[in-house]
Amino acid sequence: METIRIAVIDDHNIFREGIRLVLEQINRFEVVFDTCNAFEFIESLPRPDLDVVLMDYNMPQINGDEATRAALTIQPELKIIALTMFSDLTHYSQMMDAGVQGFVIKKASKNELQNAIETVYYGGHYFSQEILQKLALQAVHNRSFYQKQLTEREKEILQLICEGKTTSEIADTLYISVKTVETHRTNIFKKAEVRNVAELVVWAVKNNFFEIQ
């Protein structure tokens, strides 16, 4: 089983060192870079020895969304997970637009952090349950959702998307082609009136298509 190579970018030294210690206890994981300075991280790119980045949002000089955009411009194949406090969720849209593929609350357990990294590494999206709950609550107050009718197949695919499955995994699970999944996915996005997977998950929770465990 291949090693997942990780960078940790966070300006709080004790937290960053703690995350590194936790990650190094997991056999498949290797922390190849950590820094309190996002500029230092960006200047180190491209790095062929790097797969997944854990990126803090609130940092001096340059925020997580700016650092994410710069990093993905240099090395587009990087998988980036935002490390957040609840207060950072006001910047959720900026981080999603910048290209992050997951959000993990800083108080997450070792098992959740491992799950998030592995999910994103294999092409999925990951969101801490606390984040989904808060975003769904915000959606109730801040946005008017119009629930259009989904077909049974679309509901099946929506469920698998919310579970973090990739397009190819959904195709294998349902015994249909990748192209068919992509067509259904496009239709679901149009009906839900969302732009990305993160917004779709929140929409699904709000409209009782997907239940937070």
46 preceded by a cis bond (ω within 30 of 0): yes
Reported as a single tens digit per residue, the pLDDT across 158-195 is 989 888 888 999 999 999 999 999 999 999 998 888 88
- Which residues of the chain does CATH 1.10.10.10 include? 138-206
Cβ burial of 68 (10 Å; 0-12, 13-18, 19+) is: buried
State both tokens at 186: 């496009």
- The architecture that CATH gives domain 4-127 is 3-Layer(aba) Sandwich (3.40)
Class of domain 138-206 (CATH, top level) = mainly alpha
Residue limits of CATH 3.40.50.2300 in the chain: 4-127
Residue 94's pLDDT is 80
The structure's pTM equals 0.69
For the chain, residues with pLDDT lower than 70 are 86-90, 133-148, 211-213
- C-alpha angle 97-101-102 in degrees, rounded to nearest 5: 110
Residue 130 region by backbone torsions, left for phi larger than 0, else alpha for psi between -120 and 50, else beta: alpha
Identify the residue whose tokens are 């300075």: 37
Report pLDDT for 84.
84
